[in-house]
Chain A
Amino acid sequence: MTTFKKTGMQTINFDNPPVITSWACLVGPKEGEGPWAKDFDRILADYLFDEDSWEKAENKLLRETVKLALTKQDLQTMEAELLLAGDLLNQTISSNYAARELNIPYLGLYGACSTMAESLLIGAMMIDGGFFNRVVSATCSHHYSAERQFRFPVEQGVQLAASAQWTATAAGAIVLQVKGQGPRVTCATIGRVIDMGVDDTNNMGAAMAPAAVSTIKAHFADKGLNSDYYDLIVTGDLGAVGMNLAKELFVQEGLVPAPNYSDCGVLLYDGLQGVNAGGSGCGCSASMLCGPLLKKMINGELNRLLFVATGALMSPTASFQGETIPGIAHAVAIENA
Chain B
Amino acid sequence: MYEEKNEALKAAEKQEYKDLVNRVKPKPPLLVNCLWAFGVGGLICLIGQLFLNYLLNIGMNKADAGSATAVIMIFIGALLTGLGVYDKIGEKAGAGSIVPITGFANVIVASAMEFKKEGYIFGVGARIFSIAGPTLLFGFVASVLIGLVALIIK
Q: How far is the CB of B79 from chain A (nearest CB, A)?
A: 12
- Expressed in whole angstroms, the Cα–Cα distance for A284 and B24 within the complex equals 23
Q: Are B106 and A148 in contact, with the CB atoms below 8 A?
A: no
Q: Are B14 and A159 in contact, with the CB atoms below 8 A?
A: no
Q: Are A210 and B26 in contact, with the CB atoms below 8 A?
A: no
Q: Are B106 and A156 in contact, with the CB atoms below 8 A?
A: yes
B69 at the binding interface (Cβ < 8 Å): no
CB-CB nearest in chain B for A155: B110
Interface size on A (CB < 8 Å)?
Answer: 27
- Expressed in whole angstroms, the Cα–Cα distance for A152 and B111 within the complex equals 8
Q: Are B90 and A210 in contact, with the CB atoms below 8 A?
A: no
Q: How many A-B residue pairs have CB under 8 A?
A: 86
Q: Which of A154, A156, A245 has the most CB of B within 10 A?
A: A156
Q: Are B90 and A156 in contact, with the CB atoms below 8 A?
A: yes
Q: Are B114 and A159 in contact, with the CB atoms below 8 A?
A: no
Q: Are B17 and A158 in contact, with the CB atoms below 8 A?
A: no
A241 at the binding interface (Cβ < 8 Å): yes
Point out the residue from B17, B24, B25, B27 that lies within 8 Å of A196, measured CB to CB.
B17
Which residues of chain B are within 8 angstroms of A159 by Cβ–Cβ distance?
A: 33, 90-94
Point out the residue from A52, A55, A154, A162 that lies within 8 Å of B110, measured CB to CB.
A154
Which residues of chain A are within 8 angstroms of B111 by Cβ–Cβ distance?
A: 153, 156
A53 at the binding interface (Cβ < 8 Å): yes
B62 at the binding interface (Cβ < 8 Å): no
- Expressed in whole angstroms, the Cα–Cα distance for A152 and B25 within the complex equals 22
Q: Are B18 and A155 in contact, with the CB atoms below 8 A?
A: no
Point out the residue from A155, A163, A245, A277 that lies within 8 Å of B20, measured CB to CB.
A245
Q: Are A155 and B87 in contact, with the CB atoms below 8 A?
A: yes
Within 8 A of B (CB), among A35-72: 52-53, 55
- Expressed in whole angstroms, the Cα–Cα distance for A3 and B27 within the complex equals 53
- Expressed in whole angstroms, the Cα–Cα distance for A53 and B93 within the complex equals 29
Within 8 A of B (CB), among A132-187: 148, 152-163
Within 8 A of A (CB), among B86-140: 86-94, 97-98, 103, 106-107, 109-111, 113-114, 117, 130-131
- Expressed in whole angstroms, the Cα–Cα distance for A241 and B21 within the complex equals 8
B28 at the binding interface (Cβ < 8 Å): yes
Within 8 A of B (CB), among A188-231: 196-198, 203, 206, 210
What is the 8 Å Cβ interface bit string for chain A, positions 5-17, against chain B (1 contact, 0 not)?
0000000000000
Q: Are A244 and B24 in contact, with the CB atoms below 8 A?
A: yes
Point out the residue from A155, A197, A241 that lies within 8 Å of B109, measured CB to CB.
A155
- Expressed in whole angstroms, the Cα–Cα distance for A277 and B25 within the complex equals 10
Q: Are B21 and A155 in contact, with the CB atoms below 8 A?
A: no
Q: How far is the CB of B22 from chain A (nearest CB, A)?
A: 9
- Expressed in whole angstroms, the Cα–Cα distance for A128 and B28 within the complex equals 49
B13 at the binding interface (Cβ < 8 Å): yes
Q: How far is the CB of A290 from chain B (nearest CB, A)?
A: 29
Q: Are B24 and A157 in contact, with the CB atoms below 8 A?
A: no
What is the 8 Å Cβ interface bit string for chain B, positions 1-30, against chain A (1 contact, 0 not)?
000000000000110011011001111100
Q: Are B84 and A155 in contact, with the CB atoms below 8 A?
A: yes
- Expressed in whole angstroms, the Cα–Cα distance for A277 and B26 within the complex equals 9
Point out the residue from A156, A197, A248 that lies within 8 Å of B24, measured CB to CB.
A248
Given A148-B114, A154-B110, A155-B109, the answer on whether A198 and B90 have CB atoms closer than 8 Å is no
Q: How far is the CB of B82 from chain A (nearest CB, A)?
A: 8
Which residues of chain B are within 8 angstroms of A161 by Cβ–Cβ distance?
A: 28
- Expressed in whole angstroms, the Cα–Cα distance for A194 and B6 within the complex equals 15
Q: How far is the CB of B123 from chain A (nearest CB, A)?
A: 11
Q: How far is the CB of B49 from chain A (nearest CB, A)?
A: 22
Q: How far is the CB of B41 from chain A (nearest CB, A)?
A: 12
- Expressed in whole angstroms, the Cα–Cα distance for A176 and B28 within the complex equals 45
Q: Are A241 and B24 in contact, with the CB atoms below 8 A?
A: yes
- Expressed in whole angstroms, the Cα–Cα distance for A241 and B24 within the complex equals 7
- Expressed in whole angstroms, the Cα–Cα distance for A166 and B113 within the complex equals 22
CB-CB nearest in chain A for B112: A153
Q: Are A156 and B87 in contact, with the CB atoms below 8 A?
A: yes
Q: How far is the CB of B12 from chain A (nearest CB, A)?
A: 11
Given A241-B24, A241-B26, the answer on whether A157 and B87 have CB atoms closer than 8 Å is yes
- Expressed in whole angstroms, the Cα–Cα distance for A120 and B2 within the complex equals 39
Which residues of chain A are within 8 angstroms of B114 by Cβ–Cβ distance?
A: 148, 153-155
Q: Are A156 and B94 in contact, with the CB atoms below 8 A?
A: no
Please report A residues at the B interface, Cβ cutoff 8 Å.
Answer: 52-53, 55, 148, 152-163, 196-198, 203, 206, 210, 241, 244-245, 248, 277
A-B contact pairs, 14 of them (CB 8 A): A153-B107, A153-B110, A153-B114, A155-B81, A155-B109, A155-B113, A155-B114, A157-B106, A161-B28, A162-B28, A163-B25, A196-B18, A203-B21, A277-B26
